[in-house]
């Protein structure tokens, strides 16, 4: 197999899929150095920076650069080719010895770079997928996506509510419901409430010094809550990378902003900033009405449940988050939650159309 000094792979990667990764890996194996050029148009809805980050994560042993290319594709128009080449050579100014593509235009691209053209799986027999197919049906193409893209596309659903209102019960039941659908849904992930784990450690540490300590002896300070919010985000991100198109979360970093009010009073801007770092898509607010308060050793403040329910409702509304209130007996709550999540999934992913192409 011939080896090249410097190879080039370029494309929109809107979004990256298994066919793209096979192309990059094939090129990498035939080159001393490989550059991947990600070209994004301004009209597209996945930011260039995200695509570059995804490709760098999946291919840490190649150079990945990005460029904005707002010229439509017309392989029959020399002026269009000139416009594209101006973008390509500005982004990759060094000599290119081989260009690797799965497209018929690869030969002309190689000629314009003064490089060899290497065609890789043009009929998509190894990986029958395309960017168009992924944009149209991410769920149907889920197995062709690598972890960072799955994490970005997963619809994240949060169950939140006051103490002892069935949030954990509902989140687990929802997870079981989607896993039971089989296929890719069998991988549906559940993210537990990190704040509870943090609370258990606080109580254990206090009991190590004072064996008779109880939950009411535990105190929280404002600095605890950014730690909880960060860890919750990190655990969600890890779960979304390996799960199905829906991720079920038992509370989230946004809920931590209200828990800060509950235990410390007032607001913590850092917690709110952390909460805004992760995009969630639906919140399910569990009502306290009709749910008996159960003291499991890490709960108190039964009388505060109406206040907390209202605070969650008010903050969800104020911040423009999409939410559904979940009420009634357990069976009705699960049915309402499933209906809300299915409606979210049915709305699709709404990718903006790329620039037109003439080939």
pLDDT at 298: 60
Q: What is the pTM for the complete model shown?
A: 0.92
Percent of the chain at pLDDT > 70 equals 99
d(CA 124, CA 129): 7
Confidence at residue 304, expressed as pLDDT on a 0 to 100 scale: 87
H-helix or E-strand containing 201?
helix 194-209
**Burial letters for 269-296: b for 16+ Cβ neighbours within 10 Å, e otherwise?**
eebbebbeebebbbbbbbbbeebeeeee
Among 35-39, 123-127, 278-282, 299-303, the least confident range:
299-303
Residue pLDDT, tens place only, 183-203: 999 999 999 999 999 999 999
pLDDT-above-90 percentage for the chain: 89
Q: Supply 347's token pair.
A: 């709305």
Whether the predicted pLDDT of 232 surpasses 90: yes
pLDDT tens for 286-295 read 999 988 888 7
Average pLDDT, rounded, for the chain = 95
> What phi and psi values does residue 212 have, to the nearest 5 degrees?
-90, 10
HEC secondary structure over 13-30: CCCCCHHHHHHHHHHHHC
For the ranges 245-249, 251-255, 294-298, the lowest mean pLDDT is seen at 294-298
């Amino acid at each position: 197999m011939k080896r090249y000094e410097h190879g080039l792979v370029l494309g929109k990667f809107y979004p990256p899929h298994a066919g793209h990764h096979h192309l990059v890996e094939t090129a990498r194996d035939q080159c001393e150095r490989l550059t991947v050029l990600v070209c994004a148009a301004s009209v597209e809805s996945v930011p260039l920076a995200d695509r570059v980050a995804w490709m760098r994560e999946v291919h840490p042993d190649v150079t990945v650069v990005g460029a904005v290319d707002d010229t439509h594709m017309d392989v029959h128009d020399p002026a269009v080719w000139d416009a594209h080449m101006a973008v390509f050579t500005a982004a990759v100014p060094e000599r290119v010895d081989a260009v690797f593509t799965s497209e018929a235009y690869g030969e002309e691209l190689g000629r314009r770079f003064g490089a060899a053209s290497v065609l890789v799986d043009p009929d998509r027999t190894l990986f029958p997928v395309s960017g168009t197919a992924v944009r149209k049906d991410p769920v149907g193409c889920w197995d062709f996506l690598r972890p960072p893209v799955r994490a970005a596309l997963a619809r994240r659903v949060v169950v939140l509510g006051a103490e002892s209102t069935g949030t954990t019960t509902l989140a687990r039941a929802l997870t079981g419901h989607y896993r039971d659908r089989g296929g890719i849904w069998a991988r549906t992930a559940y993210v537990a409430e990190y704040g509870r784990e943090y609370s258990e450690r606080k109580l254990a540490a206090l009991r190590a010094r004072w064996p008779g300590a109880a939950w009411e002896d535990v105190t929280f300070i404002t600095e605890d809550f950014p730690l909880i919010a960060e860890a919750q985000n990190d655990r969600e991100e890890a779960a979304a990378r390996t799960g199905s198109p829906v991720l079920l979360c038992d509370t989230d970093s946004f809920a931590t902003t209200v828990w800060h009010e509950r235990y410390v009073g007032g607001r913590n801007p850092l917690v709110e900033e952390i909460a805004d770092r992760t995009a969630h898509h639906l919140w399910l607010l569990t009502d306290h009405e009709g749910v008996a308060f159960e003291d499991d050793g890490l709960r108190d403040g039964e009388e505060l449940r109406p206040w907390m329910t209202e605070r969650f409702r008010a903050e969800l509304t104020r911040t423009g988050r999409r939410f559904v209130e979940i009420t009634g007996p357990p069976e009705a709550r699960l049915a309402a939650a499933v209906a809300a999540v299915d409606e979210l999934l049915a709305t699709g992913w709404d990718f903006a159309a790329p620039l037109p192409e003439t080939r």
